[in-house]
Amino acid sequence: MPAEWEPHRATWLAWPHNRDAWPGQLDQIKEIWVQMVKALAPREAVCLLVNDQRAQDQADKRLRQAGADMERVTFHTIPTVDVWVRDYGPTFVVKRDGDQRLAFNDWIFNGWGGKYESYRADDSVAKAMAPLLGARVFEHPVALEGGSIEVNGQGACFTTEQCLLNPNRNPHLSRAGIEQFLEDSLGVDQVIWLGEGIAGDDTDGHIDDIARFVDSTTVVCALERDPRDRNYRPLQENYERLTGAKDRNGKKLTIVPLPMPGAVADAGARLPASYANFYIANGVVLAPTYDHPNDRAALGILRELFPDRAVIGIPCAPLVTGRGAIHCVTQQEPLV
């Protein structure tokens, strides 16, 4: 699996339509998609999944009115329950010996450990995409979501114990069995385990809210500075694990703390808001913001780490009420 910063052919998105996920906010959510497409399309293709022709027409009109580069946007009629293509869509891998070839892993999507039965229907999306891509498909009898793994393209993979050791995913697999599966399906030879995820995360601790590679040896790690906050202890523990971790050559990783946006809530319920849920594309990084004083600091850190990419803040306070942000709704297709 290539690192996210390696060249993309395209970014895959699913056009938002689920009113139950964002009661009274769907128009705001669509505006976030418009901002993402406008930032991505000048730099790589954008593939948009839509439920039907009516949805396509509405999305096309909205994007054109906003001035998006529609020559780089392609619509595909593949119905979805919701927008979390990172988790239910394909996770792409490439063959690099000799002729470069594209393939993807199609894991079981079980609604994040069976929490949302109606969402299981999105398990079919990756299979529906296969004919569009002409890519080889590796089907695996393992429940796993794309947001639960993070790779550096050089043999290392991050994940969390809270998610992949959770009995609601693969109770038949031991830690060693999961490590072997990740090594086989992603082409990695090192699995680095973190502990728990952030408060409000109904995915059972996805890594893309916690720690992200920004190059092969540098990691940003979400860190809560307020000891009274629920995220303080688990994020401190993850930070300590990372500071003790080494790469495949026995060298310590460079760990860069990334602030948290404090307690973001909806109707009193804590939401999984994190600046680590950014997306790296060709020439640009899309980073979530939450109308918090730490927005500026987080964007500044990312701009220092990505000097050759434009770092664009996308207001995600409405989006995170659906329990996810930018990285959760995007999926990169590598250029081969």
Q: Which of 47, 221, 316, 328 is catalytic?
A: 328
3 state DSSP class of 92: strand
* Phi, psi angles (nearest 5°) of residue 73: -105, 130
Tell which residue, 27, 88, 14, 90, has the closest CA to residue 56: 14
| Alpha helical stretches, state H, the chain | 26-40, 53-65, 85-88, 111-114, 125-133, 161-164, 175-186, 232-244, 294-305
Question: CA 185 to CA 278: how far, in whole Å?
Answer: 24
To the query of whether residue 47 is one of the catalytic residues in this protein, the response is no
How far does Cα 157 stand from its chain's mean position?
A: 14
33: tokens are: 């998609």
**CA dist., res. 78 & res. 105, Å (int):** 18
- CA separation for the pair 6, 8 (Å, rounded): 7
Cα torsion for 279, 283, 289, 291, to the nearest 10°?
-170
Q: Which residues are catalytic?
A: 328
